[in-house]
C-alpha cells in the first residue's frame, strides 16, 4: 500500500534537514505504529506524506499503490485514498461540520469519477457513524471543531475518516490529550474501520494507544530515520525501558 524509500526532507525556510533517509513499507490491511522521542521527525513525516507546504523533499520517494504521492496536491492525495488525522484538528468558525464534510466527500467522489452522494444518503450515513462514535447530532450542525473539547475534536477526526473511507490512514498522535474513555472510543472507531484493504500508520509517543489498537508492526524512529522495526513487543519494551537503550543499541 504505502512505500517510502530513502526519504530526505528539509524545512524550506530554515534549510534544516528533518528526515534523513527514512524507509518504510505498510502492506494492505496492516497497522503499523511509529514511536519515537520528541523531535525525531514523526509529525514531519505525516505532513510530507499528506502534502503540507513548507517541506522540501531532497531525495527519495513515497508511493501509494505505485502512484507517486509527492507529486500530488493535498486534495489529490485525499481523493487517492490518503487520510491524515491531525494532532491538532483546526477550528473553522462559520463553516458547518456537515457542510464541510459533505463537500469533502463529494469532492473526492467527483475526483474519482463517481457520482455525488445525495443529501439524504449523506445524512443517513453520518448520523449512523456519529452515533457509533458517540458524537451528538447537535455537534454535526456546529462549525467545524469550534467549541469542541479535545476528545470531541479527535472523535470528529475519526468521524471524518469513517465518512471519507480512505485506504491509507495516518494518525498523528491521535492519543495526545485524551483521557482513557475518549481513547477507547477513538480506538474502537479505528478498529471498526480495519479491513483487509485498508492500512494504518499510527504515530504515537506512548504504548498505551497500542493496547487498544493492536499494531502488526512497530517502528522506532529517531533523528529522521527508522532505527528499529519489530512486533508489538517492541512497543512494550519502549514503555518499560524508554528510548535510551534502544537508540544506543541501534547506534
Partner 1 sequence: MSEAAVQTKDVTPQVSGAPKPVDALQARLDALSLPKGGFTAGARADALARLREMGLPGPRDEYWRYTDPRPFNAPVPQPIPIEAREPDSPLFLDLPRLTLVFVDGAFDAAESDDLSLEGIEIDTLAQADTGADHWAKGLYGVLEASGQNPVKRPFAALNTAAAQDGVLIRVTAKPSRPVHIIHRRAREDADATWHHVIRVEEGAELTLLETGMAGARSNGVIEADLAKGARLHYIAAKRAGHQKLGNAHLFARVAAEAQLKSFALSVNGTLMRHEAFIDITGDDAVAHIAAAVLGDGNVGAFHHDDTVFVTHGAERCESRQVFKKVLKNGAEGVFQGKILVKPGAQKTDGYQISQALLLDERSQFLAKPELEIYADDVQCSHGSTTGALDETALFYLRSRGVPRDRAIVFLVLSFLADALEEIEDEVLRGQINDRLEAWLTRHGNQ
- Say if residues 81 and 168 touch (Cβ distance below 8 Å): yes
Helix (H, G, I), strand (E, B) or coil at 37: coil
Instruction: Please say which residue, 86 or 243, places its beta carbon nearer to partner 1.
Output: 86
Q: Which of residues 121-180 bind partner 1 (CB under 8 A)?
A: 143, 160, 164
- Supply φ then ψ for residue 16, to 5 degrees: -115, 125
- Say if residues 174 and 154 touch (Cβ distance below 8 Å): yes
Residue 30, all three cell numbers? 496492516
Q: Which of residues 30-69 bind partner 1 (CB under 8 A)?
A: 50-54
Instruction: Choose which of 13, 14, 15, 73 interacts with partner 1 (CB under 8 A).
Output: 73
Instruction: Please say which residue, 73 or 240, places its beta carbon nearer to partner 1.
Output: 73
- Say if residues 60 and 46 touch (Cβ distance below 8 Å): no
- Supply φ then ψ for residue 93, to 5 degrees: -60, 145
Instruction: Choose which of 19, 22, 78, 98 interacts with partner 1 (CB under 8 A).
Output: 78
Stretch that binds partner 1, among 19-27, 35-43, 84-92, 114-122 (CB under 8 A): 84-92
Residue 143, all three cell numbers? 462549525
Instruction: Please say which residue, 138 or 233, places its beta carbon nearer to partner 1.
Output: 138
Chain positions contacting partner 1, by CB under 8 A: 50-54, 73-75, 77-79, 83-84, 86, 89-90, 92-95, 100-101, 103-105, 107-108, 111, 143, 160, 164
Amino acid at each position: 500500500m504505502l512505500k517510502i524509500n530513502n526519504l530526505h526532507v528539509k524545512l524550506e525556510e530554515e534549510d534544516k534537514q528533518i528526515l534523513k533517509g527514512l524507509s518504510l513499507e505498510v502492506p494492505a490491511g496492516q497497522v503499523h505504529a511509529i514511536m519515537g522521542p520528541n523531535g525525531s521527525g514523526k509529525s514531519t513525516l505525516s505532513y510530507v506524506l499528506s502534502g503540507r507546504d513548507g517541506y522540501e523533499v531532497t531525495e527519495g520517494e513515497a508511493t501509494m499503490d505505485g502512484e507517486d504521492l509527492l507529486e500530488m496536491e493535498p486534495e489529490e492525495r485525499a481523493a487517492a485514498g490518503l487520510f491524515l488525522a491531525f494532532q491538532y484538528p483546526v477550528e473553522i468558525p462559520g463553516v458547518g461540520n456537515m457542510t464541510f464534510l459533505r463537500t469533502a466527500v463529494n469532492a473526492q467522489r467527483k475526483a474519482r469519477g463517481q457520482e455525488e452522494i445525495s443529501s439524504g444518503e449523506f445524512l443517513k450515513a453520518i448520523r449512523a457513524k456519529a452515533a457509533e462514535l458517540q458524537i451528538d447530532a447537535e455537534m454535526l450542525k456546529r462549525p467545524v471543531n469550534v467549541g469542541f473539547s479535545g476528545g470531541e475534536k479527535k472523535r470528529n477526526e475519526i468521524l471524518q475518516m469513517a465518512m471519507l473511507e480512505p485506504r491509507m490512514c495516518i494518525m498523528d498522535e491521535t492519543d495526545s490529550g485524551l483521557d482513557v474513555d475518549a481513547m477507547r472510543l477513538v480506538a474502537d472507531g479505528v478498529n471498526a474501520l480495519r479491513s483487509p484493504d485498508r492500512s494504518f500508520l499510527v504515530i504515537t509517543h506512548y504504548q498505551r494507544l497500542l493496547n487498544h489498537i493492536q499494531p502488526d508492526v512497530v517502528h522506532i524512529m529517531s533523528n529522521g530515520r527508522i532505527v528499529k522495526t519489530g512486533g508489538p513487543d517492541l512497543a512494550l519494551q519502549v514503555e518499560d525501558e524508554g528510548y535510551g537503550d534502544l537508540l544506543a543499541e541501534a547506534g
